[in-house]
Structure 1
Amino acid sequence: MIRDDNEAILTQAAGWRADGIAVALAHVIATWGSAPRPVGSLMAVSATGAMAGSVSGGCVEGAVALEAAKVLSDGEPRFLSFGISNEMAWEVGLACGGKLEIYVEPIQ
């Protein structure tokens, strides 16, 4: 299933590039504990702000999109880390905590 999702995301990114639109690609490279998307999940972000795919959901997606815009601006890839402790997760009504690392790079 993730393979099919990633093919569709890469096809969309290739279409944007073919149209002359810059694209950054975010990859989930590691997870610990609870994470909504597995390692290998992708999200493409175009210079116009369009997105395809998912690396987590919720506020993480927005933060990744902002960092992708910076990657497109300066051409420098970034490693991003997000996480919430088990204790903090319970305080806000979630079942468990988790962490994930995401690599964002411009694609040519």
Structure 2
Amino acid sequence: MTATDSEDILGIAAEWLAEGETVALATVVETWGSSPRPAGSQLAVTQSGRIAGSVSGGCIEGAVADVAKQTMASGTPQLLDFGISDERAWEVGLACGGKLKVFVEKVG
């Protein structure tokens, strides 16, 4: 599932919880420079691999989803800090060269 600005990520996460899924929510809490998504953008992830929303327009979603699975297992929230120099930006997927912080928590 791909995010659009009109998606209700919290509603989707609530539906997944109601279906018995284990769910984590990732939220962009800070941005600097040319960040691909604004603060407040969210990504919901289930233990079974379902994903809704976006925290980066696709460039770091895989890393965030991996941390979300760790967070679901441990129950411990995590604050992720992504940023990269312009020289390495394309290599890691942050082509914009911006920086962002993402808070990941288990919900439900």
Q: If the TM-score is normalised by the length of the shorter chain, which range does it land in? A: 0.7 to 0.9
Greater than 6 Å deviation, 4+ residue runs: none
Which residue of structure 1 lines up, in the alignment, with residue 67 of structure 2?
67
Letter in 2 for 1:36: P
Per-residue CA distance 1:33-75 (angstroms, 9 max, x = gap): 1111000000000111100000003341000000000001111
Name which one, 1 or 2, has greater alpha-carbon Rg. Answer: 1
> CA separation of 1:54/1:95 partners in 2, compared to 1, >3 Å: closer, same or farther?
closer
The number of residues matched between the two structures is: 104
What's the TM-score, normalizing by structure 1? 0.85
The structure-2 alpha-carbon separation of the partners of 1:54 and 1:86, relative to structure 1 and needing over 3 Å to count, comes to: same
The aligned residue for residue 9 of structure 1 is: 9
Structural RMSD (CA): 2.3
Indicate how the Cα distance of structure 1 residues 72 and 91 shifts in structure 2: closer, same or farther if over 3 A, else same: closer
Structure 1, unmatched stretches of 5+, are none
Using the alignment, how far apart are the partners of 2:46 and 2:90 within structure 1? 35
In structure 2, the gaps of 5 or more residues are none
Counterpart of 1:97?
A: 97
TM-score if structure 2 supplies the norm length? 0.85
